[in-house]
């Protein structure tokens, strides 16, 4: 399906871990070759290095990506908090992938209003730009997190409201389809625990785990992008796509990365705003959650946004990381499938 063929695409927060992988996949044309891809972010340094990375591709498999990046990839400085800057970028977009966010849990706890401005006001600026200017944006995909489900921390609370702002916008912008994706810990993303474990093992340092009981959903950057692509190609207005992915105890993740080394594991205690287990679909959402292949699809909370068709709820209880944890050997396989230096590290068994 060539959903994005000839489309003008805007990626907010496009210099982040997900944003860069998303742009790379968009450039391959796997769901249609876009007419233009614009990376919108506030960090000129990250844009500079991202531009250089795409320009310096040299391997045969990167030829198409390199050529396409010369033709269609461009960068724009701006902040989603700045309505006028965002509006200027959105005037020339058919599809918006809204990935801009403050996503570090402790940072959001210490600077909650900053999280509000980026995660909630930023989403509101996206919807406002479309609504007040009749922009011809066809689809918006909002990137959310499992922490938005039954949130206890500022990051999760603001992302939960981001979801509601975007989904509700389907009422006011009838010509635009707003959908969301919600997923867990991305293995190779900046600031996540797995790269920290890798660095600690490299330096033969103790591995720091918050609590022995701690569990998390785990997925690769490419699996995260797969979820985004499923939402934009298959999703209907107001839906939230949730991938079916592995969940694991963090102590087992540490042991899987440690490999043959016998390093101590130190329990540091739970951090401000942190959950012991994450939830991707709450028990309140179960009754309006359908199943589509490798995904659970949460129908919109507002009944007027549902199509009214009958379906059988896919879940009887919440979808939690505390259930069905995979083994250390299974974790090694999962980490080895990650397209990152982490995969090479785990496979090499260093």
Per-residue tokens: 219: 């997925």
Average pLDDT over residues 135-159: 97
The percentage of the chain sitting over the pLDDT mark of 70, rounded to a whole number, equals: 91
Confidence at 53, pLDDT banded by 50, 70, 90: confident
Stated pTM of the model: 0.92
Of 174 and 308, which is predicted with more confidence? 174
In this predicted structure, what is the pLDDT of residue 143?
98
Of 50 and 165, which is predicted with more confidence? 165
Confidence at 51, pLDDT banded by 50, 70, 90: confident
Residue 60 has pLDDT above 50, yes or no: no
Average pLDDT over residues 106-127: 97
Active-site option among 139, 147, 159, 255: 147
In this predicted structure, what is the pLDDT of residue 55?
75
In this predicted structure, what is the pLDDT of residue 309?
75
Alpha carbon dihedral 44, 46, 49, 53, in 10-degree steps, equals -130
Sorted by where each starts, the structural domains of the chain and their CATH numbers stand as: 8-183+221-244+281-318 (3.40.50.720)
> Could you give the C-alpha distances from 12 to 94, 129, 174, 206, 241, in angstroms and in order?
13, 14, 22, 37, 19
Of 144 and 67, which is predicted with more confidence? 144
Say whether 147 is catalytic: yes
Q: What is the pLDDT of residues 157-167, one digit of tens each?
A: 999 999 999 99
In this predicted structure, what is the pLDDT of residue 7?
97
Q: Pairing between strand 295-298 and 240-243?
A: antiparallel
Of 49 and 100, which is predicted with more confidence? 100
Per-residue tokens: 254: 């540490």
In this predicted structure, what is the pLDDT of residue 86?
98
In this predicted structure, what is the pLDDT of residue 195?
86
User: Other CB atoms closer than 10 Å to residue 322's CB: what's the count?
Assistant: 15
Handedness of CA 320, 219, 22, 54 (dihedral sign): positive
In this predicted structure, what is the pLDDT of residue 336?
82
Cα separation of the two ends of the chain: 41
Q: What is the pLDDT of residues 74-114, one digit of tens each?
A: 999 999 999 999 999 999 999 999 999 999 898 999 999 99
Average pLDDT over residues 119-148: 97
Q: What is the pLDDT of residues 279-314, one digit of tens each?
A: 999 999 999 999 999 999 999 999 899 877 788 899
Contact 11, 241 (CB under 8 A): no
Residue 67 has pLDDT above 90, yes or no: no
Average pLDDT over residues 116-140: 98
Question: What mean pLDDT value characterizes the chain?
Answer: 91
In this predicted structure, what is the pLDDT of residue 125?
98
Average pLDDT over residues 31-60: 85
């Amino acid at each position: 399906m060539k959903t994005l063929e000839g489309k003008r695409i805007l990626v907010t927060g496009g210099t982040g871990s997900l944003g860069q992988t998303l742009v790379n996949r968009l450039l391959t044309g796997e769901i249609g070759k876009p007419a233009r891809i614009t990376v919108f972010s506030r960090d000129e340094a990250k844009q500079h290095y991202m531009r250089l990375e795409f320009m310096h591709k040299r391997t045969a498999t990167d030829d198409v990506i390199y050529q396409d990046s010369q033709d269609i990839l461009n960068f724009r400085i701006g902040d989603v908090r700045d309505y006028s800057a965002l509006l200027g970028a959105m005037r020339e977009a058919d599809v918006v992938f809204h990935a801009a966010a403050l996503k570090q849990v402790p940072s959001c706890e210490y600077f909650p209003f900053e999280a509000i401005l980026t995660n909630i006001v930023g989403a509101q600026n996206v919807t406002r730009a479309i609504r007040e200017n009749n922009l011809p944006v066809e689809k918006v995909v909002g990137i959310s997190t499992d922490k938005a489900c039954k949130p206890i921390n500022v990051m999760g609370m603001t992302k939960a409201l981001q979801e509601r702002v975007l989904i509700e916008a389907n009422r006011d912008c009838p010509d635009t389809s707003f959908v969301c994706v919600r997923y867990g810990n991305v293995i190779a993303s900046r600031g996540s625990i797995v790269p920290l474990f890798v660095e600690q093992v490299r330096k033969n340092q103790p591995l720091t785990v918050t609590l022995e009981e701690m569990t998390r959903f785990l997925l690769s950057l490419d699996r995260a992008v797969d979820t985004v692509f499923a939402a934009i190609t298959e999703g209907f207005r107001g839906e939230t796509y949730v991938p079916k992915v592995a969940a694991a105890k963090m102590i087992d993740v540490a042991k899987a990365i440690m490999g043959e080394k016998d390093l101590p594991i130190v329990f540091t205690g739970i951090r401000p705003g942190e959950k012991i287990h994450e939830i991707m679909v709450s028990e309140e959402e179960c009754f309006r959650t359908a199943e589509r292949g490798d995904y659970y699809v949460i129908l919109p909370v507002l009944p007027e946004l549902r199509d009214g068709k009958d379906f059988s709820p896919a879940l009887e209880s919440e979808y939690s990381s505390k259930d069905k944890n995979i083994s250390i050997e299974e974790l090694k396989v999962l980490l080895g499938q990650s397209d990152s230096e982490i995969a090479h590290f785990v496979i090499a068994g260093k």
